Structure 1
Amino acid sequence: MSATLLPKDKNLSSIPVQEPTKLSDKYPILKPWKWSYTGTVNQINANSLDLTLASKDSNCPSSTIKYHEFIDQYVPEFKNNAHFSLKPALFTGMLQTLALANPGLNKYFKVYYGRELFTYKDGGVCSIDYVMSNDQQWIKKYNIGNKTAPFDKEAFDKDAQETHPKDWPRLQPRTRYFTEAELTDIKTIKITKPLILISHGLCGGSHETIIRATIDKIDLNLFDVAVINSRGCARTKIVTEKLFSAYSTDDLREVVNTKLKENPDRSIYMIGFSFGATILSNYLGEEGEKCPVRSAVTVCNPWDMIYSYEKMTFDFWASRLCSKSIVKFLVRTVEVNMPALENCMDPENTRATHVFTKDNLKKAKQFKTTVEFDDTFTAPYMGFKNAVEYYSNAGSINRLPNIKIPLLVINAEDDPVVGETSKNLKNAVLNNENVMYISTSLGGHLAYLTSNNDSWITKPIANYFKNFEEHIEK
């Protein structure tokens, strides 16, 4: 994706401001009129996309169903004006978001991964974690899900040690690299089962609670599932001078095309969470009519990155509790990968500026906001003069009009990272029949935590893919 300035008539991002525009952002006042644990769904859509229903009888003519009618019938949790209940103690979006960061939640969603190191054409690498919880060989070998015998951690750790690349970081629990034989099977055995590819958030990877909770609800007898861990994320090394950004669409494109080449007859679905949703949406918009993905879901996408930047910079709580932790992760990612990042591969490149220097890293350790990081690293590297210019052009709101596949969008109006749905975004959605936008009054950022420590949105997302695969004609 070319990091060029969009013409004014193609740039749908908000006009940036230099100071808080709301009194409630500038001062740390409490807003009890927004406290609640009972939420409401609001559908925003153009109301016109026709989906063709699959017919079991070849002699019967095919019929159609409107996109919003498909949602109402098969995913009733997302019906317009539907209600849902979250954990009463987490009665604000910020409390929901902070609670999601509790690593103890992962114990409720025990997902098992086999990891592939995927090499891009430019020499960089990502890791792809395939869900192996339903693999019969793994189930038998490690006693996965066996109620009469515990998980054989000793055998798993032994295999993990034998397959682990030298000098690479240790992996998250229940995750190990594939053996060569396992990886060969993954790539060469022709599988027609559809594949769901997941793109994680800015500070995340396959270990994220929301990702594990979503996988926990997906029917693994019907789908294969894999998480694409971006360069430098989920304990994947950066090996070239390239960091992830909102423009990392070529990375997604390479993975999707490779997986289709390995198994041309299978369908591809995708899910994007937070910043991963931005990259995914940009990719879908670039692909347009030729997009090979059947359908996709985005959750808590900062569509208008200007809007999100203002929230993270000017909101009292978001700037102190969210922005600081995110920038800490970003700086740490640069720090541990400096041996690769500081080696400028193309000193003659006039588009980008070499910014991964020890001086910039020293300065970065004092950063408190994400805009400081993007001003120093991301924007100049991508060829923009500052972070705001990068946000304005890279926001996926600008590619939304060209999305041509059925896209289910889920955003919470109390999201402390993304903020409320902007007027520009609403207008863009209302002009694209392919987009079903689910606005929820509550949920925080990627949270939606209920009293049983699960996420309310995970089951309807899983049902969406299941019913789309079973009822919509290819």
Structure 2
Amino acid sequence: MLSWGFHNRIHATYSEKSVALKLKSGKNDFATLNVIPFSTFIKTLVPEFTDGYKFNLHPFLFNGALQTLYASKADYSNDFQIYYGRCMVQYPEANFEYPHLHLGQATADFVVDPPKEIDEWNYLYNQTLPAGWPRLHPRTRFLTAQEEQDLVADWTSNPGSIVVIIHGLAGGSHEPGIRDVSQHLHQAGFNVVTLNSRGCCRSKLSTGRLYSAVETDDLRYFIDELHKKIPNKPIYLLGFSLGSALVLNYLGEEGKKSIIKSAVTIGAPVDLLDSHYHLNHSYSGKYIFDPAVASFLSNLVKVNFPILNRDKPEVFSYEKKSKDHLIRRIVDFDRKYTAPAYGFVSPKYYYEAGSPLTKLINIHTPTVLLNSLDDPVVSCNLPVDEVKANPYLYLAASDLGGHLAYIQWDGGFWFSKAVSGYFKAFESKLSNEPAESDYKPQLSEYSYKTGI
């Protein structure tokens, strides 16, 4: 109850040797400076993430549980009415470049301008929807082959940089928070795309692989292919919840060779095992949010069961009369499906492998982590020491906000304007050259045991 209310405040954590970001040449707001420390850049140009920044949320949604419930249950059908052009993402078999990639498919939803003729949009929706696919979310349809080529040409020629959004568990481009921030970014001139992971956002599975925190090669392949098609555009990353874990894992694995200009994560479960304990030690987590996500995951298996059973019958199988397939908790789902599907002996082993905690020190991309201290879903034990040790990281912890919520009086998401403002400042003030730093991760002689 001590954290209830609507007056919110940001608590910032960063390294004393914050990485030096290169400013654009010519006249700038920083006199004759050529570089600026990451933390100073945020203090100067992104007040929303600055230590001590105060703002108000919806007074009736006065704790993290209410914020999170509202964000997931409120009717946003008439809000953030952006349009998506969907493209299929075909993953090849593992190879030398992507040793952990697996055959399959996902979808990518590109933000497009509203159609001039809605009848033509609806006609093309019916023409392009693959046979046997479920009905897509409103204002979303597959692009024709010619439209895909036109989109690449437009993104290549227009002045906007690219923002790739990675959704959370049970999410997708249809989520109101993602639509809100996509709308802000699109209006700010960015080219925005959400990668819908395998089986998510009404995407059909073609092979027996599900979405997980360890599948960084899916993200890596998508980014590399996008960069090959549009090589001269900076790419930013924005992650939500479990998608944040994927973003941080990916950046930690890429290290110095990362091509990402900057990243923001929202509600990142930096320690998945600790988040598992956190979720099950609150009433709302144990009895509301955990069963809700578990139900979605169970339905995901049910809808795609023929494919999953065909490719992995040793994992995805059950007797019809048995009730052991009725999953009521996320950990039960991970015990029955996720862990064995990826070769882990238990959910805890999977949580340890999928946690970004031990990979944070190897991130060499300017990254902001936005987390709420009243989050009912992911752990609030934030990586303060790890952030202080890495000059590329900046942690903005808020007193309130729930999980992927931050609902304001008008029902909008506070983080949308903040994230858009951050990327706009990064784009307008900073050079595309890599940040300057002599940072070398401090590794123990036992670091190999943590996978670094």
Same fold by TM (over 0.5)? yes
Corresponding residue to 1:336 among 303, 323, 326: 303
Corresponding residue to 1:83 among 54, 57, 77: 54
Distance 2:366 2:221 in 1: 21
Corresponding residue to 1:131 among 96, 111, 118: 111
Q: TM-score, normalised by structure 2?
A: 0.89
| Alignment check: 8 A CA contact 1:246 1:275 kept | yes
Matched, 1:46 2:30: no
User: Letter of the aligned partner of 1:55 in structure 2?
Assistant: S
Point out where structure 1 has 5 or more consecutive residues left out of the alignment.
Answer: 1-31, 143-151, 346-352
Distance 2:160 2:320 in 1: 47
What pairs up with 1:43-442 in 2 under 5 angstroms?
A: 43-47=12-16, 48-56=18-26, 63-122=34-93, 123-133=103-113, 138-139=114-115, 141-142=116-117, 152=118, 154-187=119-152, 190-191=156-157, 193-220=160-187, 222-344=189-311, 354-359=314-319, 363=323, 365-422=325-382, 425-442=383-400
User: Letter of the aligned partner of 1:178 in structure 2?
Assistant: L
Give SS of 1:34's match: coil
Structure 1 residue 342, shift from structure 2 partner: 1.1
| Alignment check: 8 A CA contact 1:40 1:83 kept | yes
**Number of the residue aligned with 1:3:** none
**Number of the residue aligned with 1:472:** 430
After superposition, the CA RMSD in angstroms is 1.9
Distance 2:369 2:3 in 1: 23
**Number of the residue aligned with 2:447:** none
| Alignment check: 8 A CA contact 2:237 2:263 kept | yes
**Number of the residue aligned with 1:23:** none
Give SS of 1:446's match: coil
Structure 1 residue 280, shift from structure 2 partner: 1.1
Structure 1 residue 62, shift from structure 2 partner: 5.4
Give SS of 2:2's match: helix
User: Letter of the aligned partner of 1:127 in structure 2?
Assistant: T
**Number of the residue aligned with 1:25:** none
Distance 1:193 1:442 in 2: 33
Distance 1:406 1:354 in 2: 42
| Alignment check: 8 A CA contact 1:313 1:369 kept | no
| Alignment check: 8 A CA contact 1:54 1:62 kept | no
Give SS of 2:390's match: coil
Give SS of 1:87's match: coil
Post-superposition Cα deviations, 1:208-228, rounded to whole Å, max 9, x if no partner, equal 011011112114463100000
Distance 2:320 2:371 in 1: 35
**Number of the residue aligned with 2:96:** none
Post-superposition Cα deviations, 1:290-345, rounded to whole Å, max 9, x if no partner, equal 01111010000111111110012232221101000000011111111111111237
| Alignment check: 8 A CA contact 1:217 1:459 kept | yes
**Number of the residue aligned with 1:349:** none
| Alignment check: 8 A CA contact 2:248 2:360 kept | yes
Distance 1:360 1:99 in 2: 36
Point out where structure 2 has 5 or more consecutive residues left out of the alignment.
Answer: 94-102, 433-452
The answer to which of 77-86 and 101-110 deviates more is 101-110
The answer to which of 251-260 and 363-372 deviates more is 363-372
Distance 2:63 2:32 in 1: 49
| Alignment check: 8 A CA contact 2:291 2:329 kept | yes
Give SS of 1:105's match: coil
Distance 2:284 2:79 in 1: 29
Distance 2:186 2:209 in 1: 36
Give SS of 1:173's match: coil
Distance 1:102 1:264 in 2: 40
The answer to which of 320-329 and 181-190 deviates more is 181-190
Post-superposition Cα deviations, 1:219-244, rounded to whole Å, max 9, x if no partner, equal 44631000000000000011111111
Post-superposition Cα deviations, 1:270-294, rounded to whole Å, max 9, x if no partner, equal 1000011111111111000001111
Alpha-carbon distance change, 359 to 392 in structure 1, aligned in 2, over 3 angstroms: farther
Structure 1 residue 455, shift from structure 2 partner: 0.9
**Number of the residue aligned with 1:37:** 6
Distance 1:217 1:175 in 2: 18
Structure 1 residue 360, shift from structure 2 partner: 9.6
**Number of the residue aligned with 1:26:** none
**Number of the residue aligned with 1:449:** 407
How many residues are aligned here? 418
